[in-house]
Amino acid sequence: MSPSIADREHRVQELMALVVVHAIPVVFLATFAARVGLPVPASAVLANVLGDGIWFYAGRAHGYRFMRLLCRISISPDSCVRRSETLIGRWGGMSLVAAKFVPGVSVVAPPMAGALGMSSLRFLVFEVAGALLWVAVFLGLGWLFRDEIQAVLDVLADAGSVATVALVVVLAAMLIVRYRRRRAFLRLTGMPRVTVGELQTLMTGEAPPIVIDVRGDAGVQVDPRRIPGALPVSLKDIQQRRSLLPFDGEDREIILYCSCPNEVSAALAAQALAARGMKRARPLLGGLEAWVAAGHPTTEH
């Protein structure tokens, strides 16, 4: 027997009362969790600032190494650092505002800003502005769809466990789609790598390879070290063919490196060079960090 209208209204009232009673701690904790990387919605200004502040000072203290670790827990770790570098380099402080609306970048923008030396006052100004805008968007959407929200609450009150199962199924489907996309992307960039030991051997041979640092300006600013003799040519310049590359026409081994998970920027650059006929381009396994970890010398940009 289906519940009466009075029963449904009573359930909705109970649900709304529960939300109202626990609104402040729930919103705060959910928002704080979101700013430290957990996949929950965020809508509170104070929690936004506190959560992002943790990442900001962690980035200032630990720099690029911390961001690499942070990106490894992201759903899209391969593009995490690269997209953050591009956003920070193009928009500066405004990137902290824009990042809140860019999935995968919102968690990385604060530590990137800290690693790049942004002042605490400047960070606070842009962070508060971004948090206010974020909250305004959520409130605006809630107001625009207030009638639909009530209908959803009615459905949830009636559906009970069925709605929970449906939500779990939707979330699982989203994760499966993201996983498949990631696997497809890894296959796309799954070209052979050269190890640090192999690169060292090549560099001491009769025909040393051309070594290219494909990091962007932001990445170099965070970590100015580079492999001795490496040419600074960013991934963007290689992909857009902005000018004649200094190694065009040379039939030599080309080794590219970056500081991103799975060497994705170096792999994309190698693909772009292969499309231009340079078939001997390969990414360096582990990138700059692997070179440094092996104890090899570096120079400054």
Among the ranges given (142-146, 210-214, 262-266), the one the predictor scored with the smallest mean pLDDT: 142-146
pTM: 0.60
Shared-domain flag, residues 85 and 209: no
| Domain end among 100, 119, 144 | 144
Is it the case that residue 135 has pLDDT exceeding 70?
Answer: yes
Shared-domain flag, residues 131 and 202: no
Q: Which of 44-58, 146-160, 286-300 is most confident?
A: 286-300
Do 260 and 288 form a contact (C-beta atoms < 8 A)? Answer: no
- The percentage of the chain sitting over the pLDDT mark of 70, rounded to a whole number, equals 63
Give the pLDDT confidence score for residue 296 in this predicted structure: 94
Give the closest residue to 97 by CA, choosing from 131, 67, 70, 71.
131
Confidence tier at 263 by pLDDT (50, 70, 90): confident
Beta-ladder partners of 212: 231, 256
Q: Rounded to whole angstroms, how far apart are CA atoms 220 and 299?
A: 12
Shared-domain flag, residues 38 and 106: yes
Beta-ladder partners of 226: 299
Give the pLDDT confidence score for residue 195 in this predicted structure: 96
| Domain end among 118, 144, 170 | 144
Confidence tier at 206 by pLDDT (50, 70, 90): confident
Residue 149 lies in a domain: no
Shared-domain flag, residues 102 and 210: no
Is it the case that residue 114 has pLDDT exceeding 80?
Answer: yes
Measured between its terminal Cα atoms, the distance across the chain in Å is: 75
Shared-domain flag, residues 273 and 210: yes
Residue 225 lies in a domain: yes
Q: Say which CATH number the domain at 248 has.
A: 3.40.250.10
Greater confidence (59 vs 71) lies with: 59
Q: Rounded to whole angstroms, how far apart are CA atoms 288 and 279?
A: 22
Within the chain, where are the H helices? 5-21, 23-35, 45-72, 77-91, 95-98, 109-115, 120-144, 146-159, 161-188, 196-203, 217-222, 235-240, 264-275, 287-293
Is it the case that residue 218 has pLDDT exceeding 70?
Answer: yes
Mean pLDDT of the region 86-106: 73
Give the pLDDT confidence score for residue 157 in this predicted structure: 62
Residue 172 lies in a domain: no
Give the pLDDT confidence score for residue 115 in this predicted structure: 78
Shared-domain flag, residues 202 and 130: no
Give the pLDDT confidence score for residue 1 in this predicted structure: 46
Shared-domain flag, residues 73 and 136: yes
Shared-domain flag, residues 131 and 221: no
Greater confidence (256 vs 241) lies with: 256
Q: How many domains does the chain have?
A: 2
Shared-domain flag, residues 201 and 289: yes
Q: CA dihedral defined by 141, 147, 151, 153, rounded to 10 degrees?
A: 60
Q: Rounded to whole angstroms, how far apart are CA atoms 71 and 260?
A: 9
Do 247 and 210 form a contact (C-beta atoms < 8 A)? Answer: yes
> Read out DSSP for 186-247?
HHHT----B-HHHHHHHHTSSSPPEEEE---HHHHHH--EE-TT-EE--HHHHHHT-S--TT
Q: Rounded to whole angstroms, how far apart are CA atoms 70 and 80?
A: 9
SS3 255: strand
Shared-domain flag, residues 213 and 282: yes
Residue 227 lies in a domain: yes
Give the pLDDT confidence score for residue 103 in this predicted structure: 64
Shared-domain flag, residues 39 and 129: yes
Mean pLDDT of the chain: 76
> Read out DSSP for 275-290?
HTT-TTEEEBTTHHHH
Give the closest residue to 256 by CA, choosing from 188, 207, 206, 189.
189
Give the pLDDT confidence score for residue 174 in this predicted structure: 79
Domain membership of residue 121 as a residue range? 5-144
Residue 45 lies in a domain: yes
Is it the case that residue 245 has pLDDT exceeding 80?
Answer: no
| Domain end among 144, 178, 210 | 144
63-100 core/surface letters (b: 16 or more CB in 10 A; e: else):
bbebbbebbeebebbbbbbbbbbbbbbeeebebbbbbb
Residue 91 lies in a domain: yes
